[in-house]
Amino acid sequence: MSISAQQVKELRERTGLGMMECKVALTETGGDMEAAADLLRKRAGAKVEKKAGRIAAEGAIGIIVSPDRKSAAMVEVNCETDFVAKGEEFLVFAAAAAACVADKQPADINALYALPGGDGTPGTIAQMREGLVMKLGEKINIRRFEKLSANQGHIGSYLHAQKIGVLVVLDGGDETLAKDIAMHVAASQPEYFSKDQVPAAAIAKEKEILLEQAKDSGKPPEIIEKMVMGRVNKYLNEITLLGQPFVKDPDTTVEKLLKSKGASVKGFLRYEVGEGLEKRPDNFTAEVMATAKGA
């Protein structure tokens, strides 16, 4: 039977797939729009399986913050190449996933995939993903997500080139301070909020390393102890948010800045695309540092 251009156009709009793929599916199903859409989803699923073993360490961070800044969600969506990661369709998918996390609070990745895409998008998040895999030809997956709430205070956010995302729960201060602290977290990568949150085992290990480095200095043991403790304190300042020099004004610490504004940080979350998956040549943290100093 003859398949009209209007039928192909309608199926393309529903699935986001190519003209020839849609025409072939319509031809094989005798022009049945629903059957053709199901057939394309099945084929997308097959493509997903074939690409499951590929490395997907590129991608984008999606962030959604509620208008009252009392809640926010962040997701990391991965793909294989930076070219795909920068595409509008991929970024729309990341935003849709973040919106689902914010609205529905799924328990895990599988629960998120089962949710409807929203905003008139046909199908579930899983079907949106399968459609992208089929259309873009890459492995695509949602790696992680989290939602933060602020019963007291408000949430600040910062997103750098879709590659680094930060959410900060701030009590006191204003929206500008919240964004500044979020930018600082993006640039300085604190591992902990304060010194008392650093595990004792991590401190002991650092002290052991520093003692080993100092033992051949020829200095008396009591001097070595003081030297080492000074370096341990420096190490703790480097890895804790409160102890770090504020990225936009290194002459003051984040702790002093917060006190001067009558504010406190109740929690923060930092995602960087691909962290823990592979060593990346892109130094996005350095980019954020340069942006912050120039702001």
- From 3.40.1410.10, 3.10.180.10, 3.40.50.1820, 1.10.8.10, which CATH number describes the 5-51 domain? 1.10.8.10
**What digits encode the pLDDT tens for the residues 91-107?**
999 999 999 999 999 99
Domain spanning 54-149: CATH superfamily? Elongation factor Ts, dimerisation domain (3.30.479.20)
- From 1.10.286, 2.60.40, 1.10.3470, 2.50.20, which CATH number describes the 199-237 domain? 1.10.286
CB distance 50 to 107 below 8 Å: no
Task: Quickly tell me which residue has 């089929």 as its tokens.
Answer: 134
Whole-number pLDDT of residue 295:
64
Whole-number pLDDT of residue 54:
63
CB distance 271 to 145 below 8 Å: no
- Common-topology check for domains 54-149 and 150-198+240-295: yes
Distances (CA, A) of 121 to 9, 43, 93, 131, 272: 16, 19, 10, 12, 27
**What digits encode the pLDDT tens for the residues 66-81?**
999 999 999 999 998 9
Q: Which two tokens stand for residue 50?
A: 């074939």
CATH code at 150-198+240-295:
3.30.479.20
**What digits encode the pLDDT tens for the residues 213-250?**
877 777 787 888 888 889 999 999 999 999 999 999 99
Please give the Cα distance from 60 to 119 (Å, whole number). 20
If 0-12 CB within 10 Å is exposed, 13-18 middle and 19+ buried, where does residue 7 land? middle
The domain limits of the chain are 5-51, 54-149, 150-198+240-295, 199-237
Whole-number pLDDT of residue 281:
54
Whole-number pLDDT of residue 279:
44
Reading the chain (295 residues) residue by residue, the pLDDT tens digits are 688 888 888 887 776 666 888 888 889 888 888 888 878 777 766 554 555 556 678 999 999 999 999 999 999 999 989 999 999 999 999 999 999 999 999 999 999 999 988 776 668 999 888 888 888 888 899 999 999 999 889 999 999 999 999 999 999 999 999 999 999 999 999 999 999 999 999 999 888 888 888 777 777 878 888 888 899 999 999 999 999 999 999 999 999 999 999 999 999 999 999 888 764 556 666 666 667 766 6
Whole-number pLDDT of residue 39:
80
Nearest 10 degrees: CA dihedral of 207, 254, 251, 293?
110
